[in-house]
Amino acid sequence: MKINAIYKISDNPLIWVSTGAKNWEKLTNHTNKKAYLLVHPMWFFSWRSVWLYFKKLLFLKRKNIELKFLHNSLSEYNFAKKVGFDSYFINHNIHVCEHKFDIDESIEKQYDAVYTAAAKPYKRLHLASEIRNLFVITYFWPDVRNKDGEWDLHAFEPKIKHAKFNRDRISKKEVNKILNQSYCGLALSKKEGAMFASMEYLLCGLPIVSTKSKGGRDVFFTKRNSFIVDDDPESVKGGVEKVLAKEIDHHKIREETLKLVNFFRNQFIDIIVKIYKKEGVNPPAQKIIYHKIWGNKRGVANIRLSK
């Protein structure tokens, strides 16, 4: 699922789902019925979010579009309910495509750890400075390039000058290959959203070394698939060393993750079914809704408004 993209779930009733709060001006309800927008906030939902989304709620109401929130963590859900938003606890990582991120046992391990992270201060790349065999899957926004027309992660964060990284955008297939070349994935921000990359790690069977965080990425963490460490380079290194010393069942990590993903996906479908019934429309079978949204190799890309 792409950040700030909008996806159409149904035409009758009209139901969309989005991540983030952009591009909503494109939504138009030409029907004589209420339309619905389900939104996964991209960043940790706090008091700073309330005014932003309250204005968005009023904007949509004028178009006869009802806004429902799908929160990434239980604490955010409880907070949003208290301030009066129509909210549910459904983490946006359920939309990461398990058909594109998978275990490939034909690929040999090369890296002690991989970190998928934007070149942004909140990602705290410096915390990976003690990991000697590291690959960073990165992206720059705004798109800042050096004199050779390449991204330069070493210039952005000199403390990880030893790390390998991609110097331009790479495909999901290439991302999947690098993940499978790695023993574990890193998650080092203190606060953000649910971090799509953390789900990509888990679907590739990688255990995660993570600092404590706010934003919902830990919803899919278990004692078997994650190591929570202090936010300093030595502790992060220690977490990676624990992974390297432990026999990891990559398939078990993926299977347990998909089981929990399906739990939340079924809750998501329940919301869709309730909207159908509220609007007096017979809903499709749940398996049909499931297949439309997640059931093939393109995943939610099939229902994105702008391809």
- CA angle, residues 32, 33, 38, in degrees to nearest 5: 135
What DSSP assignment string belongs to 217-264? GGGG--TTTEEEE-SSHHHHHHHHHHHHHS---HHHHHHHHHHHHHHH
Neighbours of 267 (CB within 10 A): 14
Task: Tell me the H-state helices in 27-126.
Answer: 47-61, 74-82
Give the pLDDT confidence score for residue 298 in this predicted structure: 87
pLDDT (tens digit per residue) in 266-302: 999 999 999 999 999 999 999 999 999 999 888 899 9
Structural domains in the chain, CATH included, are 6-96+258-303 (no CATH), 113-255 (3.40.50.2000)
Give the pLDDT confidence score for residue 296 in this predicted structure: 85
Average pLDDT over residues 1-28: 91
Residue 59 to residue 225: CA distance in whole angstroms: 42
- CA angle, residues 98, 178, 233, in degrees to nearest 5: 105
* Residue 141 CB-half CA count within 13 A: 5
pLDDT (tens digit per residue) in 225-260: 999 999 999 999 999 999 999 999 999 999 999 999
φ and ψ of 270, to 5 deg: -55, -40
**Tokens 């992974």 identify what position?**
243
Q: In this prediction, what percent of the chain has a pLDDT beyond 90?
A: 92
Residue 219 to residue 304: CA distance in whole angstroms: 25
Residue 122 has pLDDT above 90, yes or no: yes
pLDDT (tens digit per residue) in 40-63: 999 999 999 999 899 999 999 999
Average pLDDT over residues 180-207: 98
E strands in 122-166: 134-139, 164-165
Residue 176 has pLDDT above 60, yes or no: yes
Residue 264 to residue 262: CA distance in whole angstroms: 5
- Report in angstroms the alpha-carbon separations of 237 from 15, 85, 132, 184, 210: 45, 41, 9, 12, 11
- CA angle, residues 124, 127, 133, in degrees to nearest 5: 120
User: Which residues have CB under 8 Å from 117's CB, separation 6+?
Assistant: 123, 125, 136, 137, 138, 186, 188, 189, 197
